[in-house]
Structure 1
Amino acid sequence: MMLKQLIPALLLITLLGGCTTIQLEPLPEGMTEQPPADWTQRSRSLNQFDHWQLSGKLAVRQPSDSGTAVINHWEQQGEQYDLALSSAFLGMGSTRLLGTPGFLKLQLANGDTYQSSEPETLVLAATGWQLPIDSLTWWIRGLPSPASDFRLLFDDRQQLAIIHQSGWEIRYDRWQPFIEDLPQLPAKITALKDDKRVRVVISDWQRKD
Structure 2
Amino acid sequence: MPKLNQQSLPTNYSLENRVDYLTTINNWQINGKIAFLDDKERKSATLFWQNNPNKNTEQLSLTTYLGINVLEVNLAEGIYTIEVDGNSYQNSNIDHILMSLTGYQLPSQALKSWIKAIPFSVNDKITYHSKTQLPESIIGSYNNQTWDILYKEYINVNNIPLPKQLTIKQDQLTIKIVINQWMF
For the superposition of Structure 1 and Structure 2, which TM-score range results when normalised by the shorter chain? 0.7 to 0.9
Q: Who is 1:17 aligned against?
A: none
In 2, Cα distance between equivalents of 1:81 and 1:138? 14
For the Cα contact (< 8 Å) 1:82–1:98, is it kept in 2?
Answer: yes
For the Cα contact (< 8 Å) 1:172–1:190, is it kept in 2?
Answer: yes
Q: Who is 2:11 aligned against?
A: none
In 2, Cα distance between equivalents of 1:205 and 1:190? 17
In 1, Cα distance between equivalents of 2:112 and 2:16? 19
User: SS at the partner of 1:53?
Assistant: strand
Return the structure number with greater relative CO, CA threshold 8 A, min gap 6: 1
Over the aligned positions, Cα root-mean-square deviation in angstroms equals 2.4
Deviation at 1:138, TM superposition (A): 0.9
Q: Which has the higher strand share?
A: 2
For the Cα contact (< 8 Å) 2:61–2:69, is it kept in 1?
Answer: no
* 1:155 pairs with 2:129: yes
Q: Who is 1:194 aligned against?
A: 171
The 4+ residue runs of structure 1 with deviation greater than 3 A are 127-130
Q: Which has the higher helix share?
A: 1
Q: Which runs of 5+ in 2 are unaligned?
A: 1-13
For the Cα contact (< 8 Å) 1:142–1:185, is it kept in 2?
Answer: yes
Relative to the length of structure 2, the TM-score reads: 0.77
Relative to the length of structure 1, the TM-score reads: 0.68
Alignment partner for residue 148 of structure 2, among 169, 187, 204?
A: 169
* 1:205 pairs with 2:182: yes
User: SS at the partner of 1:85?
Assistant: strand
Q: Which runs of 5+ in 1 are unaligned?
A: 1-37
In 2, Cα distance between equivalents of 1:80 and 1:135? 17
In 1, Cα distance between equivalents of 2:104 and 2:138? 21
